């Protein structure tokens, strides 16, 4: 009898662990997608409003309020992290998403993210965008289907820009050469490879087909009512490499989530134990009904922190 009880306890533990893993997989594949969908609606509306406010008078807007052609407006100031900076459209894979500024874990939860230390799409240089492959809406799920000469359109505050895919490659996550700056206007899209793994990176390169937009040339300025002066500076190669490396490292997950993960994991386990204990002393049905909402809220927060530990664009 004693051995039967031990074996039964081990069996229940394994079944419970399996159910938690299944719930986590469901959360990753579908729960995160619901979060991203809400963020995308908000970002799309936000960006459309910014475009309407910034549209040059000589560019007639379409019915949706967006400019119809590429413009040559002066480059805007660098946007804050997490805000909408562009809309990206890839007809081949049916993608149309708002692009946020930044490639950290919180940024890529909202949609594809623009590497802050690369030029904005449409400008001279190598503009880079990262995106999730299998979670948070999986915007780059079908990125591997792109072929040479496929069209990628990106709309920024400076206008609408059309790129054509030139090549694709698979690299190691530590390979930063794909983010090196170029003399021509190019676009680089990065995501994890293969699906459901972060072992490698899938990289798509594309070349701008339009005239490039003006690039920012000033980093500091002073103004008065009668005079404005600016100082032009160029970041050193070491500074640029360090910045890009920091951005790449941010794709590897958020190490600050380790303690919250342990904390909420422990809280979730304690709540589960309390529910089990209550079911032994009171009516089992009522114990489960009353305890389940609290348990699943704690479990949701636990899953959120576990997700923060995973690579940001998995």
Residue 138 has pLDDT above 80, yes or no: yes
Residue 300 pLDDT: 85
- pLDDT tens-digit profile of 7-16? 777 777 778 7
pLDDT confidence tier of residue 170, bands split at 50, 70 and 90: very high
pLDDT-based confidence at residue 217 (cuts at 50, 70, 90)? low
Cα 296–chain centre separation:
26
Phi and psi angles of residue 256, each rounded to the nearest 5 degrees, phi first: -70, -10
Q: Which of 28-42, 57-71, 75-89, 227-241 has the lowest mean pLDDT?
A: 227-241
Residue 139 near residue 131, CB atoms below 8 Å? yes
Q: Find the Cα–Cα–Cα–Cα dihedral 98, 100, 103, 104, rounded to 10°.
A: -110
Amino acid 27: pLDDT: 76
User: Which of 77-81, 126-130, 164-168, 219-223 bottoms out in mean pLDDT, i.e. has the lowest?
Assistant: 219-223
Q: Where are the domains of the chain?
A: 37-250, 253-314
Q: What angle do CA 209, 213, 217 make, to 5 degrees?
A: 140
Range with lowest mean pLDDT among 38-52, 133-147, 230-244: 230-244
76: confidence class by pLDDT, cuts 50, 70, 90: low
Separation CA 186–CA 247 (nearest Å) = 19
Residue-wise pLDDT for 261-273, tens only, equals: 888 889 988 988 8
Confidence check: pLDDT of 232 > 50: no
Mean of the per-residue pLDDT values of the chain: 79
Contacts 24+ apart (CB under 8 A), 300-305: 300/27, 301/264, 302/261, 302/264, 302/265, 302/267, 302/268, 303/23, 303/24, 303/27, 303/28, 303/31, 305/257, 305/260, 305/261, 305/264
- Residue 224 has what pLDDT? 33
Examine the pLDDT at 308 and tell me if it is beyond 60: yes
Architecture of domain 37-250: Beta Barrel (2.40)
* Residue 123, number of CB atoms within 10 A of its CB: 20
Give 243-293 pLDDT, tens digit per residue.
444 445 545 566 777 888 888 889 988 988 888 888 888 877 778 888 888
- Is pLDDT of 189 > 90? yes
């Amino acid at each position: 009898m004693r051995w039967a009880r031990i074996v039964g306890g081990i069996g229940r533990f394994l079944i419970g662990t399996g159910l938690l893993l299944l719930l986590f997989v469901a959360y990753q594949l579908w729960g995160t997608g619901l979060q991203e969908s809400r963020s995308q609606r908000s970002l799309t509306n936000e960006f459309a409003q910014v475009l309407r406010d910034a549209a040059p008078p000589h560019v007639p807007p379409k019915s949706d309020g967006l400019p119809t052609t590429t413009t040559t407006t002066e480059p805007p100031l660098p946007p804050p992290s997490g805000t909408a900076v562009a809309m990206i459209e890839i007809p081949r894979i049916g993608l149309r998403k708002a692009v946020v500024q930044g490639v950290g874990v919180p940024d890529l939860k909202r949609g594809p993210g623009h590497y802050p230390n690369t030029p904005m799409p449409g400008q001279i240089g190598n503009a880079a965008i990262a995106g999730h492959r299998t979670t948070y809406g999986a915007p780059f799920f079908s990125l591997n289907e792109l072929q040479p000469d496929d069209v990628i359109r990106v709309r920024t505050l400076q206008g609408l820009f059309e790129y054509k895919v030139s090549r694709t490659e698979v690299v190691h996550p530590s390979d930063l050469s794909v983010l090196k700056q170029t003399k021509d206007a190019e676009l680089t899209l990065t995501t994890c490879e293969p699906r459901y793994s972060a072992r490698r990176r899938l990289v798509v390169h594309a070349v701008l087909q339009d005239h490039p937009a003006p690039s920012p040339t000033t980093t500091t300025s002073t103004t008065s009512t009668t005079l404005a002066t600016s100082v032009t500076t160029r970041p050193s190669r070491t500074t640029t490499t360090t910045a890009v490396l920091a951005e790449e490292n941010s794709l590897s997950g958020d190490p600050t989530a380790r303690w919250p993960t342990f904390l909420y994991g422990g809280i979730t386990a304690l709540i589960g134990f309390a529910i089990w204990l209550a079911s032994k002393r009171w009516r089992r049905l009522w114990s489960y009904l009353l305890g389940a909402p609290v348990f699943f809220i704690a479990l949701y927060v636990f899953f959120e922190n576990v997700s923060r530990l995973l690579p940001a664009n998995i």
